[in-house]
């Protein structure tokens, strides 16, 4: 185990979830204020937080270490709030740049069983959007999701004091491909590869129920930011005036800004009434052609050059059918009912905040 700081004896003293909730609620705005810097794509950390008179831990597992698109923002927000952070990282040198105090491990096995961890956040797994879906790649995606979630469950199983909650990142792909139906957490799914991946990971995560751990399946939509995710890939063609709808443009896009996602993760951690599936999308999904027009407007560029569906289907197969030409109209019913307030509920305002 490497260090910006070692696990202190006080870091191993259990703290109740009520203490954690009270502290986070008191420091809600400070904890979740925007962070000035950001990095790219999806990470892999274990987070450990400590307040003045008590300590707690967040175990965060992500693909690319703590320097990634979503995980880095979460780590930075916790550091900015004065917390102590323990990071599971593939690249310790990059993780060390996030700030101090920080402790770095390269395996969940390096975490002692007497470490007090209040919340485990699993964001890990091979990205479904990282390349065309050959049979080998499909296998790699599925195995990585199952193995990482299984490792997190194994960590929880051997901890002397169990965490209060496991937040397991899933995706709105769980619902499969739909037309105009509004989908809440109570909706059923339709078979496709994205759903197969999500179902496998969620089933593995639900095994923590035998340890009395609250389990949340966070079904995340398209995460918007300039440092990663789909928006970062669209900016260049749109800035060059070559942007436009994909295929018919009628497919739904259920999105969320990265900062709202980080805020929603914190909200879930301190809201014991939230369990099971929770949709992590903004309350106003849009069609793809609406998204294209909104992005073109913010960038002061035309958005009239469509990307035809036929060559996408021919070259991309199921990858194109599910991720580019299909979609879901997802509503964050549980988040709204629990009192969560989105800072960016509308796409036009969100895009202005990100790239305007």
DSSP string for residues in 242-308: ----BTTS-SEE-EEEHHHHHHHHHHHHT-TT--EEEEES-S--EEHHHHHHHHHHHHT------B-
Inform me whether the pLDDT recorded for 184 exceeds 70.
yes
Domain membership of residue 229 (yes or no) is no
Tokens found for residue 211: 């340890």
H or E element at residue 78: helix 71-80
Structure confidence at residue 255 (pLDDT)? 98
Domain membership of residue 14 (yes or no) is yes
pLDDT in tens, 306-343: 999 999 999 999 999 999 999 999 999 999 999 999 99
What is d(CA 27, CA 11) in angstroms, rounded to the nearest whole number? 20
Tokens found for residue 238: 């749109």
pLDDT in tens, 18-31: 554 454 445 444 44
Domain membership of residue 350 (yes or no) is no
Tokens found for residue 227: 């440092």
Residues forming a β-bridge with 222 = 255
pLDDT in tens, 132-165: 999 999 999 999 999 989 999 999 999 999 999 9
Angle, vertex CA 155, rays to CA 149 and CA 157, nearest 5: 105
Contact call for residues 45 and 89 (beta carbons, < 8 A):
yes
Domain membership of residue 182 (yes or no) is yes
Tokens found for residue 127: 């990205």
Residues forming a β-bridge with 256 = 223
Domain membership of residue 44 (yes or no) is yes
Domain membership of residue 322 (yes or no) is no
Domains identified in the chain, total number: 1
- DSSP-derived 3-state class of residue 81: coil
Burial class (CB in 10 A: 0-12, 13-18, 19+), 90: middle
Angle, vertex CA 103, rays to CA 102 and CA 104, nearest 5: 120
Structure confidence at residue 203 (pLDDT)? 98
Domain membership of residue 294 (yes or no) is no
Please provide residue 8's backbone torsions phi and psi, each rounded to the nearest 5 degrees: -80, 160
What is d(CA 230, CA 224) in angstroms, rounded to the nearest whole number? 7
pLDDT in tens, 95-124: 777 767 777 778 889 989 998 888 888 887
Q: What is the value of pTM for the model shown?
A: 0.84
What is d(CA 243, CA 296) in angstroms, rounded to the nearest whole number? 7
Domain membership of residue 323 (yes or no) is no
Structure confidence at residue 152 (pLDDT)? 92
Contact call for residues 67 and 38 (beta carbons, < 8 A):
no
Residues forming a β-bridge with 61 = 122
Tokens found for residue 343: 């800072």
Contact call for residues 301 and 239 (beta carbons, < 8 A):
yes
Say which CATH number the domain at 25 has. Answer: 3.40.50.720
Range of the domain at 94: 2-224+256-282+331-340
């Amino acid at each position: 185990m490497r260090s910006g700081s070692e696990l202190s004896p006080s870091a191993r003293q259990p703290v109740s979830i009520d203490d954690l909730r009270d502290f986070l609620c008191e420091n809600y705005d400070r904890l979740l204020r925007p962070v000035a810097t950001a990095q790219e794509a999806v990470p892999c950390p274990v987070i450990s937080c400590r307040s003045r008179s008590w300590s707690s831990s967040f175990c965060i597992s992500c693909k690319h270490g703590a320097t990634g698109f979503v995980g880095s923002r979460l780590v930075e927000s916790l550091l900015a709030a004065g917390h102590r952070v323990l990071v599971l990282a593939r690249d310790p040198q990059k993780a060390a740049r996030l700030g101090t105090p920080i402790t770095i491990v390269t395996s969940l096995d390096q975490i002692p069983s007497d470490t007090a961890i209040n919340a485990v956040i699993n964001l890990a797994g091979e990205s479904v959007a990282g390349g065309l879906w050959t049979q080998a790649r499909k296998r790699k995606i599925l195995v990585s999701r199952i193995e990482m979630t299984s490792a997190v469950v194994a960590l929880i199983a051997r901890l002397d004091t169990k965490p209060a909650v496991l937040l397991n990142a899933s995706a709105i792909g769980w619902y499969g491909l739909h037309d105009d139906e509004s989908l809440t957490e109570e909706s059923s799914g339709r078979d496709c590869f994205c759903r197969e991946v999500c179902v496998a990971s969620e089933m593995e995560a639900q095994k923590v129920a035998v340890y009395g751990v609250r389990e949340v399946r966070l079904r995340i939509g398209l995460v918007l930011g300039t440092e990663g995710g789909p928006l970062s890939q669209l900016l260049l063609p749109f800035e060059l005036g070559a942007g436009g709808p994909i295929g018919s443009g009628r497919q739904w896009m259920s999105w969320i800004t990265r900062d709202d996602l980080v805020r929603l993760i914190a909200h879930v951690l301190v809201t014991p009434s939230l369990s099971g599936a929770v949709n992590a999308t903004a309350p106003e999904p849009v069609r793809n052609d609406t998204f294209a027009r909104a992005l073109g407007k913010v960038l002061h560029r035309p958005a009239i050059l469509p990307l035809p569906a036929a060559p996408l289907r021919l070259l991309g197969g199921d990858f194109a059918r599910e991720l580019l030409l299909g979609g879901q109209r997802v509503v964050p019913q549980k988040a709204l009912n629990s009192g969560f307030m989105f800072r960016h509920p509308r796409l036009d305002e969100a895009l202005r905040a990100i790239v305007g």
